[in-house]
Amino acid sequence: MLAIYEFIPKFNYIRGLRNQKINRFKTDEVKRYLEEFSKGENQQLENVKRIEFLLNLRELTMEQHIHEANKLFYKNLAETNALSRKELRYPI
């Protein structure tokens, strides 16, 4: 996530290029990738801030770690599913 955030200006630069030699390499997939990963620094920064770590990892047993990881995974999955459904209903 942090790498994507750092590359946003480069993605924007490539997206804005109007060179015939470069445009022939911009397939629909490449254009979509550039659009997706150059959405906005604020949005990507929010994604970076949302990354959560288990601070007391060394103190947890394996079962506790699995339980906490599952809880975090399903919480993030619910948020992502809601966003994905919205994007599928109203594609770009």
Q: Which run of H or of E encompasses 73?
A: helix 62-89
- Counting as low any pLDDT under 70, the low residues of the chain are 1-4, 50-55, 92
pTM of the model: 0.43
Residue 69 — φ and ψ, nearest 5°? -65, -40
pLDDT digits (tens, 9 = 90+) for 58-78: 788 889 888 988 888 898 888
Residue 53 contacts residue 73 (beta carbons within 8 Å): no
Report the chain's terminal Cα–Cα distance, integer Å: 22
Domain ranges of the chain: 1-51, 52-92
| Count of Cβ atoms closer than 10 Å to residue 38 Cβ | 20
